[in-house]
Amino acid sequence: MSKLKFAMAMVAAGGAAGGASDAAAAVTIETFNYAGPTDGTTFGYDITLAGAAAPQFRYAGGVGVVFDGGGPTLGVKHTLGAVDGTARLSSTPYSTFSLPNSGETFDSTSVKTYQQAAFLPTSAGDTYYHLTFDAQGANYLGTAKITGDHTLESIAYTPNDAVPEPESWALLILGAGLAGAALRHQRGRQQASTAR
C-alpha cells in the first residue's frame, strides 16, 4: 500500500471520529417565558424538547413548606423537575450561561429554583441549570435559564455527541484496520527484499 493510500485510510478514520464535533456545534434554543409568580399562585408548565412525544420537564410552583433556617414554615417554592425517566438535572446552579459537558454528573430529578418563607416579591440575578434528556433516540445536553424575576425564559440544548455513533465507530475501526494491514504488508515486502 502506498503512503498516499495509508494517509487516506488515516484521514477516513480521523473523519469518522471528528464528525461528532461538527454536530455538537448546533445549539437549539427554545423560548418559553413561563412566569413563576412569587405571591403563592400555583402554576405548572410542561416542557417538551427536541420533538419528543411527551414532556421531559415541568416548571411548577406555589405555596409549600420551605426551610428558612428556623425550621419548616409555609412559603413559596418553585421547582424545575424531570418527568421523563431519561431526564436529569445537575443540582448545581450557575450564575452565567454554559452548556454542560458530557462528563458532567446529573444527580437530581428536581431542583429548587426559588424558595421564600414570606409572601413577598423578590428578584435575583439570572440562574442557569444544566440538564440532560433523551428524545427520538438521541441524548441531549442543555441549560435552562431562570431569569431574576423567576421566569423560565429558555432552554438551550445540543446533541450529546461525545460518544460517536455506531457507524462512526465502524469507520474508525475499519480505517485503523486498513492502516495496520498496510503497515504489515509494507514491512513484509521490506523484509523479503532484504533477505535476497
Say whether pLDDT at 71 is over 90.
no
Instruction: Kindly state the cell numbers that stand for 88.
Output: 436529569
pLDDT in tens, 87-123: 999 999 999 999 998 889 999 999 999 888 766 556 6
Please answer whether residues 54 and 48 qualify as being in contact, where contact means their C-beta atoms are separated by less than 8 angstroms. yes
Shared domain for 86 and 51, answered yes or no, is: yes
**Which residues, other chains included, contact 28 with Cβ-Cβ below 8 Å and sequence gap of 6+?**
50, 156, 157, 158
pLDDT band at 4 (very low <50, low <70, confident <90, very high): very low
CA atoms of 120 and 40, how far apart (whole Å): 9
Shared domain for 32 and 70, answered yes or no, is: yes
Indicate whether this model's pTM tops 0.85.
no
Instruction: Kindly state the cell numbers that stand for 23.
Output: 454536530
- pLDDT score of 128: 96
Shared domain for 145 and 186, answered yes or no, is: no
Q: Buried b / exposed e across 92-129, counting CB within 10 Å, b at 16+? A: eeeeeeeebeeeeebebeebbbbbbbeeeeeeeeebbb
Closest CA to 156 of 45, 32, 20, 18: 32
| Better pLDDT: 196 or 144 | 144
Which alpha helices (DSSP H) does the chain contain, by range? 3-24, 166-195
pLDDT in tens, 8-49: 444 444 444 444 444 445 899 999 999 999 888 999 999 999
pLDDT band at 124 (very low <50, low <70, confident <90, very high): confident
- pLDDT score of 115: 85
Could you tell me how many residues make up the chain?
196
Residue 172's domain comprises 3-17+166-195
Radius of gyration of the chain (CA): 25
Shared domain for 87 and 11, answered yes or no, is: no
Shared domain for 106 and 38, answered yes or no, is: yes
Shared domain for 58 and 81, answered yes or no, is: yes
Average pLDDT of every residue of the chain: 79
Shared domain for 129 and 85, answered yes or no, is: yes
Shared domain for 107 and 153, answered yes or no, is: yes
Can you spell out the DSSP letters for 40-87?
Answer: S--EEEEE--TT-SS-SEEEEEEEEEEE-SSSEEEEEEEEEEE-STT-
| Better pLDDT: 145 or 68 | 145
pLDDT in tens, 141-181: 999 999 998 999 999 999 997 555 556 556 666 766 676 66
- pLDDT score of 121: 59
Shared domain for 115 and 95, answered yes or no, is: yes
With respect to residue 22, please indicate whether it lies within any of the assigned structural domains.
no
Shared domain for 90 and 187, answered yes or no, is: no
With respect to residue 190, please indicate whether it lies within any of the assigned structural domains.
yes
Q: What total of structural domains would you count in the chain?
A: 2
